[in-house]
Chain A
Amino acid sequence: MNEARNAVKKIRVLIAMLGLDQHEVGAIAVTGVLRDAGMEVVYAGRFNLPQAVVKAALEEGVDVIGLSCHSWEYLYYLDELLALLRRHGLDIPVIVGGSVVTPGDAQTLLAKGISAAFGPTATPDEIIATVTELAGAATSA
């Protein structure tokens, strides 16, 4: 599916939150940042379980999945999400970002197989650069 995309195609990113985490400020802010950078954002919003995220990623044909977290729930949902992606043979990079993501968490998450982790100190430029790079790598894969 990804091979069909050409270089001029806009990068498509899914932004979602997991479980009952309701603090949407980061998710909406990042959505704005990515749209300003010329990307297409599919905003899945709040109250998703891993299955819903994978389903949306599949249906929308996104290049990158971005999970916004302002609660610790993601720590427990992530394994299930990554397993579901593998089961569906989906090689979509997953980025986790949010206020509660500490340097220690970032190490753990990267070891689990996510592609990038952003804590509350990440800048918009860092986020745009990482999404662009991961989308490019996924597209050319």
Chain B
Amino acid sequence: MTDRRTQSRIPLQPLYTPADLAAFDYAARLGDPGAYPYTRGNRAQASGRASWIQRELSGEGDGKRSNAQLKYLLESGQTGLDVIGDTPTMGCLDADHPLAAHAIGTQGVSLCCLQDYRDLYDGLPLERITMSHSLPAVFAVAALHCVARERGLSSALLRGSVIQAPYYCEDCSYAVHMPFKLRVRMAADTIAFCAAEMPKFHAFIEDTYFISESGLDSVEEMALGFVELRGLVRELLRRGVAIDHFAPRIAILLNCRMDFFEEVAKIRATRRLFARMMREEFGAVDQRSWAVNIAAHTSGLTLTAQQPANNIVRGAIQALALACAGVQAIEVSTFDEAFRTPSPEAHLVGLRTQQVIHLESNVGQVADPLGGSYYVETLTDDLEWRIEEMVRSIEARGDAAELSDSGWFRSVFQTAIERHARGIADGTTAKVGLNVHRVAEQNDTLLREVAERKIEPYRERIDWMKQYRAGRDASRVRGAVEALDACARDENANLLPAIVTATESGATMGEMAGTLRRAYGQPADPFGYAEQPL
């Protein structure tokens, strides 16, 4: 037995030597960067001076206020954008829903209708800048499509991405109160629509970040991610969408915690697993289908409310691991994330962390700088094997819909949450400033003052929404929503064209989501407040 283990509890040796890689086959296991199986990176060249996409998760208030925030971040040197909805928006509820009042625009941006997206994108070159959308995908894509059309911009030029979370959203903070079947359909419809209409847009982001913030380890994170990714791929194939039609635009948004080498190895193993799966299992022949783009967030769960300055160090270590792993985009969770929605000051520190790594450390000059390390290669193999085994064991448990509805997925997250909390409570997981090297509360003042500043709920939105509804062409909205209802009841139809038309007519996200829920036999309002749509 050894007491040396990674954070995922993988046993470690005190030293790795050439003996650990005695039978290592470079071409089969690694290959050069940009070549199958893409372990060393999906591009032949390191990012160099061009850098990965540097962005910070943002969004607060309404579309206008978030637009100003995005422009501030671009002026500060950000090279991409990353927007998340507030809690009502993430739940597909409008700002004037009775449960939304105290949550409007405080933990993200409130986006309910086409005008909100016009305001959000105002002045932003959607064909040049990439915006990552952490938003209900089907509605965000429809709105983006509408805005591009209004600008006379071909949707074929649109860049950016949107997360898909149909398997786990109900259990991990993004509940939309919809049945599994509808959630999967919305994801697959969005991906199929974008493959045809918005070929540069990444509509298939497998988001393992938000699920792993429950405390999943690296193996669980990627195994659950692959289970969902594979489920969606099979669904698209079942519909007759060719693998090479959509696979080149699949990306994975993953988590990066504190175990430096494990996270690097996880990303390398993920690229190899993905390439093998696409080529050998799903029969992709386009090389772009084999090489997965990887974006990452540094972990908010690793941050502590105690001595928040330490979180800047944590973010830097995690971002350095990501730079060494050769990812395409990074977001650093801000130092104040343990106690509030990011402040502007913390956003800037997160961005500066990336800029310092990029411009001063030189790590981006050479591709896969850790490749060939006895340790990193052994760990990469080990993680690949463990992730693959766990995928097999979950898939052997049966149908994903059943695993979701029966609460099995939820039990995985619950176990992880409790394990994480126990690890910190009993000191197994060292957390500097929290369970070791503590300082007295009254002396723990550095960078704490941002915690007392809060973002007020943006309640002006409630009246604004009411006026917006009253100012619409009611019969046009009703017609579009009725057409969406009919479309939703035809399982062979793609929802997107009907959602685009409804969005253009002025229908709100809440109305459209309610229509979809009802078509699937559920109440339009999951909380029983609002009147039925139509």
Report A's interface with B, CB cutoff 8 A: 19-25, 28-29, 32-33, 46-47, 49, 71-73, 75-77, 99-100, 102, 104, 119-121, 123-124
Contact = CB atoms under 8 A, between A and B. Distances in A.
A131 to B, nearest CB: 15
Give the most central of A28, A46, A99, A104: most B CB within 10 Å: A28
B451 A28 contact: no
B174 A29 contact: no
Interface in B396-425: 414, 417-418, 420-422, 425
Contacts of B87: 19-22, 71
Nearest to B215: A25
Given A22-B173, A73-B102, A121 B306 contact: yes
Nearest to B337: A99
Nearest to B174: A22
Contacts of B99: 19-20, 47, 49
A119 B304 CA distance: 12
Q: For this complex, into which size category does the number of interface residues on chain B fall?
A: 35 or more
B457 interface: yes
Give the most central of B91, B101, B451: most A CB within 10 Å: B451
B454 interface: yes
A81 to B, nearest CB: 13
A22 B93 CA distance: 13
B102 A19 contact: yes
A121 B441 CA distance: 9
A22 B165 CA distance: 15
Contacts of B88: 20
Interface string B87-127: 11011010000011111001100000000000000000000
Nearest to A28: B417
A71 B173 contact: no
Contacts of B339: 99-100, 102, 119-120
A33 B338 contact: no
A19 B103 contact: yes
A71 B103 contact: yes
Nearest to A25: B417
26 contacts: A19-B102, A20-B91, A20-B99, A21-B103, A22-B173, A22-B174, A22-B175, A24-B417, A25-B214, A25-B301, A25-B420, A28-B417, A29-B420, A32-B421, A32-B422, A71-B103, A71-B107, A72-B102, A72-B457, A73-B106, A99-B338, A99-B339, A100-B339, A120-B304, A120-B338, A123-B425
Contacts of B455: 72
A22 B90 contact: yes
A1 B243 CA distance: 64
Interface in B17-47: none
Interface of B is mostly: loop
B452 A104 contact: yes
Contacts of B338: 99, 120
Given A76-B101, A100-B340, 11 more contacts: A19-B103, A22-B87, A23-B173, A29-B421, A73-B457, A76-B102, A77-B102, A102-B451, A104-B452, A120-B305, A124-B421
Contacts of A123: 425
Interface of B: 87-88, 90-91, 93, 99-103, 106-107, 173-175, 213-215, 301, 304-306, 338-340, 414, 417-418, 420-422, 425, 434, 441, 444, 451-452, 454-455, 457, 527
Contacts of B175: 22, 46
Given A20-B100, A24-B173, A99 B305 contact: yes
Nearest to A120: B305
Given A19-B102, A23-B173, A28 B452 contact: no
A124 B420 CA distance: 13
A100 B340 CA distance: 6
A33 B338 CA distance: 20
A99 to B, nearest CB: 5
Contacts of A72: 102, 106, 454-455, 457
9 shortest interchain CB distances as A-B pairs: A120-B305, A29-B421, A32-B418, A73-B102, A20-B87, A22-B173, A76-B102, A28-B417, A102-B451
A28 B414 contact: yes
Contacts of B418: 28-29, 32
Contacts of A121: 305-306, 434, 441, 444
Give the most central of B103, B174, B175: most A CB within 10 Å: B103
A29 B418 CA distance: 5
A55 to B, nearest CB: 15
Contacts of A29: 417-418, 420-421
B305 A22 contact: no
A68 to B, nearest CB: 12
Contacts of A100: 339-340
A88 B126 CA distance: 55
A20 B103 contact: yes
A139 to B, nearest CB: 26
A32 B413 CA distance: 13
B202 to A, nearest CB: 25
A32 B423 CA distance: 12
B341 to A, nearest CB: 9
A33 B425 contact: yes
B232 to A, nearest CB: 23
Give the most central of B90, B101, B417: most A CB within 10 Å: B417
B215 A20 contact: no
Contacts of B441: 121
B446 to A, nearest CB: 14
B421 to A, nearest CB: 4
B421 A33 contact: yes
Contact of B91 (A22, A49, A76, A124): A22
A24 B211 CA distance: 12
A76 B174 CA distance: 22
A23 B84 CA distance: 15
Contacts of B103: 19-21, 71, 73
A3 B433 CA distance: 43
Contacts of B173: 22-24
A127 to B, nearest CB: 10
Contacts of B90: 22
